[in-house]
Chain A
Amino acid sequence: MKIIGNKRLLALLAVLLLMLPVLSMAETAAEEPAQTDKLFAAIDEKGYAYLNAAENTIFYSDPSMTEEVQAGLLRKKVNVTATAYIPEGTTQIGTDENGQPIYAEAAVLVWITRSGEPESFYVRRSAVKNPLKETAIVNQAEKDGLVPVAFGAASAYVQEASIKPLVDSDFLQWWINLADDFYKNIIEYERWKLLLQGLANTLAMTAGALGIGVVIGVAIALVCTAWENQGPKMRKGPGKALLRFVYGFFRVYTTVFRGTPMMVQLLLMTFVILKGIPHAMTVAIISFGLNSGAYVAEIFRGGINSIDKGQMEAGRSIGMSYAQTMWHIIAPQVFKNVLPTLCNEFITLIKETSIAAYAGVMELTMAGNRIRGQTFSDFMPLIAVAVIYLVLVMILTWGVGILERRLRQSDAR
């Protein structure tokens, strides 16, 4: 009990530490002006530059332009130099107001000077609409000894860039960087909304799957226990044959769904079996529900079998039918026994739904991954996702604990 308490405390502390930068940046965040019409949205502390505009926007930049960009939360004066790489054979599609040619396909290669040392950086933008052309540009540029990573129709010239850190302390800088990271990955462009949407989808999928799982699981458990307990006593006839058939079917069902990876099931459902359903989330809910049903069936089967045989006999001896005894006597006791295990299945399911990303569902993990793709940072989006899962599971575990204690209390009455 004490160990658990300490663990909880540690976890809480970790969460608070992670939240610390958020709290500290709350004020500064508000006063940042929008930077939409500038070439670079931001250059982070590592020197990664982020292009500001949407896909295929054509930049018009003076070759000698010095742009003041925002690096994370903190304003830093940065001089950026960029060279447009124009692949051979590309078409000029016009000129800008400064007389600079604008090409249909071009890549921007950027150097940023930081503390005097010239460094080259990849400047990535969302891919142009034609991925074939994009690949061709990269190939050509690499042949020429360049590493361009920004694509699109571009005519950009940035001559020089430098970043000056605001503080000297490494320790402080680490925290500032973390705060910047947090701002960039979570706050900026309301990326937290993406996480929230992912969380909502994760929860919806889990709840839906659990609902299906419980219905299937209870049905399987009822049929299996009925066959196992009553089958030998039943007289030959269509009823017995039907029960045996359904029992056999459910055994195959549980064997298949517990014997193959959830991932394979999901992909099979999405791309083969339920190909006709266009809504990825619906397919995912059905897949998880079918899979969960096999496990929930075992939970309920164990629950029913754990009830003393005397209960069924007592019910039957009064004159109640098998079904009546199941409903009035066995089921309420089973439900009580099984509830904590069922909650654990719920917890497992929450985490398992992360693979729905592979079926194209925007759930929590995918939301984090999408942020990764937008900001090119790995740490913050993944940690944020992990923390959300953790908090979710901790809340549930806590709830299950309360539930279990309640049930134990009512047992002792």
Chain B
Amino acid sequence: MMHDKKNDSLQPLISVRGLQKSFGDLHVLRGVDQDITPGEKVVLLGPSGSGKTTFLRCLNLLEQPTGGSIVFEGEEITDPRCNINKVRQQMGMVFQQFNLFPHLSILKNITLGPTLLKGVGKEEAEERAMQLLRRVGLEEKAKAFPRQLSGGQQQRIAIVRALAMEPKVMLFDEPTSALDPEMVGEVLTVMTDLAKEGMTMVVVTHEIGFARSVADHVIFMDGGYIVEQGTPEAVLDDPQQPRTQDFLRKVLK
């Protein structure tokens, strides 16, 4: 298990410059700059409507930015000539609503990407899927269908599905927000394990505890700007901006 420490000499994995996104007249992102280095765990906090989810979704172009640039491993993915499908194979994403494919078995959910996009053989893909399933303790669910699983189980499968593509970064969009409280823990455990293994992670969440224990870097967003950022200790325990203080007071209450 390699332990991650932020290495400043390293090239950033993702480099965001002047990122803007508007939906009609609504400016959701008003110019965001951010570098994410390999192995870094970034947690995005902020009230709803602050732009944190939009920022995350811009990183793999699920939202098309209206301004600014995003560079992933030296390739500008906001460039029209960039093959975004190839880039997305290296960026796993986990959604709030899990979004498993209901017509496919769990195993098929996981192996579809690798077999279809990376040319991995069926047996090899299944073997790898079973390994991942064992890691999240759900190997006996391989033949099941998504609807038969609890929310927490589904979200763990969704993480496995993303991991099966062997991505370089994992994007989490409020992965525990749609879960019953008793299932939040099992998902956070998987995410924490993943962090320990050195995965680069960008997480939008309201789980302050998770941010505190896992994040290298915490970003507080509001009104389409990054209001405050820094180490978890700095942002969570000693926030400088009144909006951050206000938000944390409400969340931690």
Q: Per-position contact with A for B91-134: 1 when CB-CB < 8 Å, else 0?
A: 11101010111110000000011001100000000000000000
CB distance from B157 to the nearest CB of A (A): 12
Q: Among the listed B89, B99, B148, which residue makes an inter-chain contact with A314, where contact means beta carbons less than 8 Å apart?
A: B99
Q: Number of contact residues on B: which range applies?
A: 20 to 34
Q: Among the listed A310, A324, A333, which residue makes an inter-chain contact with B99, where contact means beta carbons less than 8 Å apart?
A: A310
CB distance from B135 to the nearest CB of A (A): 19
CB distance from B75 to the nearest CB of A (A): 14
| A233: B residues at CB distance < 8 A | 64
Q: Is A260 an interface residue (CB 8 A)?
A: no
Cα A235 to Cα B90 in complex, Å, equals 23
CB distance from B190 to the nearest CB of A (A): 18
Interface-lining segment among A18-26, A65-73, A145-153, A315-323: A315-323
Q: Are A319 and B113 in contact (CB under 8 A)?
A: yes
Cα A321 to Cα B116 in complex, Å, equals 11
CB distance from B70 to the nearest CB of A (A): 15
The total of chain A residues at the interface (CB under 8 A) is 23
Q: Are A319 and B147 in contact (CB under 8 A)?
A: no
| B162: A residues at CB distance < 8 A | 317-318
Please name the residue on chain A nearest to B93 by beta carbon. Answer: A317
Interface residues of A in 315-363 (CB under 8 A from B): 315-321, 324, 328-329, 332-333, 336
Interface residues of B in 224-242 (CB under 8 A from A): none
Interface-lining segment among B28-36, B80-88, B201-209: B80-88
Cα A233 to Cα B57 in complex, Å, equals 14
Cα A314 to Cα B97 in complex, Å, equals 10
Q: Among the listed A310, A318, A336, A413, which residue makes an inter-chain contact with B89, where contact means beta carbons less than 8 Å apart?
A: A318
Q: Is A412 an interface residue (CB 8 A)?
A: yes
Q: Are B101 and A329 in contact (CB under 8 A)?
A: yes
Q: Is A37 an interface residue (CB 8 A)?
A: no
Q: Per-position contact with B for A385-413: 1 when CB-CB < 8 Å, else 0?
A: 00000000000000000000000000111
| B100: A residues at CB distance < 8 A | 314
A319-B117, A320-B116 are known; give 10 further A-B pairs, CB within 8 A: A308-B97, A311-B99, A311-B101, A313-B99, A317-B62, A317-B92, A318-B117, A319-B88, A329-B101, A336-B103
Q: Which residues of A contact B (CB under 8 A)?
A: 233, 235, 308, 310-311, 313-321, 324, 328-329, 332-333, 336, 411-413
